[in-house]
Amino acid sequence: MKNVMTIDGQPAVITFDPDIEMFRGEFVGLNGGADFYAPDVAGLRCEGEQSLSAFLDECAKRGIEPRKRFSGKFVLRVSPEIHEAAATAAAASGESLNQWVADAIREAAHA
């Protein structure tokens, strides 16, 4: 995936902050914030490992589940025109709208 670094199995989205001229990593899928900064990729990985370790240690101390649980359900709002176009494309593919959207998301997310 683009702009994603995996540290100890946990994905983090990576951006560049031009104001401070550093890379910023932010772990996703956690029950709290865990971010980290560094001027280069090697430093970012090191800082990410330390940040994730500190976050997981704190969760363990407090008895908190560190990772979010995803239900597999979410609401998607689009314009009526996009809804109609998607329903038409799904029907043309012989799929339900739900399956068609799930396939599109899987492909886009490379999951």
Q: Residue 7 CA to chain centroid, in angstroms?
A: 13
DSSP-derived 3-state class of residue 107: helix
Q: Which residues contact 80 (CB under 8 A, 6 or more apart)?
A: none
pLDDT score of 111: 62
Tokens of 28: 């996703």
Q: Please tell me the distance from the alpha carbon of residue 105 to that of residue 111, in angstroms, as a whole number.
A: 8
Q: How far, in Å, are 4, 22, 77, 83, 108 from residue 25 at the CA level?
A: 9, 10, 28, 34, 21
Q: Are residues 12 and 43 in the same domain?
A: yes
Total domain count for the chain? 2
Q: Are residues 56 and 9 in the same domain?
A: yes
The verdict on residue 67 lying in a domain is no
Q: Which domain holds residue 52?
A: 4-62
pTM over 0.85: no
Average pLDDT over all residues of the chain? 94
Q: Are residues 9 and 49 in the same domain?
A: yes
The verdict on residue 29 lying in a domain is yes
pLDDT in tens, 60-90: 999 999 999 999 999 999 999 999 999 999 9
